Amino acid sequence: MRLLVRMPLDLLAGFGLPKRGPGYLDLARIDDRLKQAAAAAGRQIELREDGILLAPTTRQARVSLLSDRSFGSHASAAAHVRGPRLPDSTDLFWNQGFFDAELEYGIRSSAPNLSIRVNVAPELGRRLKLQLEFLPANEPARSFTLTGGLGWIALAPSWYDAARLFVRQGFAASLSFERFVFLLCLIAPFRQFRGVLALVLAFIALQAFTLTAAAVVDIRGIRWLNSLHDAGLAAAILLLAIGNLAGPSVRVRWAISAALGALGGFGLGRVLDDAWQFAGMHPAVSAASFNIGVATGEVVSLALAFALMRLVFARLLPASLAVVVVSAVLGHLGWHWMIDRFHPLGHELEHASASGLSSVLWLLPALVVGAIAWFLPKRFDGAPVASLLAGLLRRNGDGSPTRD
């Protein structure tokens, strides 16, 4: 197996490439440093076959002009890397060109089970992207965009590889700070975990519905849906916080959870869009696994949020006062997030296409669930903690105040 690599010369600054004059590369004395750079590229772009790390051998290493476009296809890139090098007299600044290399790997099978991990310039994190074209023998070419920190990625994933990757991606995507704040506002007034769990399960089900739509109908690239989710999440946090202060309502919480659950699928669609390239021949398994990972993460977040509120009630503040303090702080955060995000949403909606607007139909199940919620009893599986206005100070029949 052969790997053709091209990277900007900027990334080779630490190799001390020999220079001449005002900063031109000294091409007559550069070969040893280029071989070192090629060996480093083989360590930073790691390949495994059946879980065994492969050791590369450097076949070619050279520099190219910034204007060179040979890496547009594999055939032209191979011909360029193996072709004549730049003349030693070429004036090429040390940071204004490309480093090209050809690495060769010994493999045991003509159809190997390959995986790759990128660790080039780890200080750049996800800002660094590797455009990879994989050309297996007797199979169609596959294209990937890899970023730092992804870990090992199977180039021809089995269903098990796809499931494991998408469960991990979904779980990580659900554990955002803003989603945790939403859950805290949602559950703050309630004492019993069972009723809150029903709310969150409805939220997860509607989220899975629109997330599946994002995968199957391919609406992941509609940018205003992401902005709508971000603004809606901030608005929901603010509304829930206000409700906690004025008078918690289970009906309102069901309606807000239903609406935000549907929008949540669109918000997570951007994460799914980035990971979809790794689904291989298993799109259904990948979509289901991503939903499982998201659902698991949401339930874990719910348990942590509920435990945190119980700890505050037990150790720090009385229940009523704790709900007021937590809601005031989180509502303040939600207000600023909402103000910051409604302007980008308006800008995106101004440029929305008619085809994108049709995706709003996927929100209809959330409207149905929200409407049904108004027929629920006011108190569902346990009364909420009394609010500041209704319960912090309550009067007895004789008019004397007593603490709740």
- Does residue 337 share a domain with residue 206? yes
- The verdict on residue 85 lying in a domain is yes
CB neighbours of 112 closer than 8 A, spacing ≥ 6? 1, 49, 50
- The verdict on residue 36 lying in a domain is no
Out of 156, 171, 194, pick the residue that ends a domain. 156
- The verdict on residue 6 lying in a domain is yes
- The verdict on residue 76 lying in a domain is no
- Does residue 6 share a domain with residue 149? yes
Out of 107, 137, 156, pick the residue that ends a domain. 156
Least confident of 51-60, 189-198, 209-218, 394-403: 394-403
What percent of the chain stands above pLDDT 70?
A: 83
Query: Is the pLDDT assigned to residue 217 strictly greater than 70?
Result: no
- Does residue 308 share a domain with residue 271? yes
- Does residue 126 share a domain with residue 200? no
- Does residue 107 share a domain with residue 132? yes
Q: How many domains does the chain have?
A: 2
Out of 156, 179, 199, pick the residue that ends a domain. 156
- Does residue 200 share a domain with residue 333? yes
According to the model, what pLDDT value does residue 398 have?
A: 45
* Rounded mean pLDDT, 95-107: 93
**How confident is residue 387, by pLDDT bands cut at 50, 70 and 90?**
very low
This prediction's pTM: 0.74
- Does residue 101 share a domain with residue 188? no
According to the model, what pLDDT value does residue 367 have?
A: 67
- Does residue 175 share a domain with residue 139? no
- Does residue 104 share a domain with residue 190? no
pLDDT in tens, 133-179: 999 887 888 889 888 777 888 888 888 889 999 999 899 988 889 88
- Does residue 315 share a domain with residue 347? yes
- Does residue 111 share a domain with residue 166? no
What percent of the chain stands above pLDDT 90?
A: 24
- The verdict on residue 35 lying in a domain is no
Please report, for residues 252, 289, 304, 329, the alpha-carbon distance to residue 186 in angstroms, rounded to integers and kept in the order given.
10, 26, 13, 14
- Does residue 171 share a domain with residue 90? no
Q: Closest by alpha carbon to 9, among 28, 45, 34?
A: 34
- The verdict on residue 269 lying in a domain is yes
Mean pLDDT of the chain: 81
pLDDT in tens, 316-349: 878 778 888 888 899 899 899 988 888 777 777 6
Query: Is the pLDDT assigned to residue 355 strictly greater than 70?
Result: no
CA distance 309 to 187: 9
- The verdict on residue 105 lying in a domain is yes
Query: Is the pLDDT assigned to residue 299 strictly greater than 80?
Result: yes
According to the model, what pLDDT value does residue 132 have?
A: 92
Domain range for 358: 161-403
- The verdict on residue 235 lying in a domain is yes
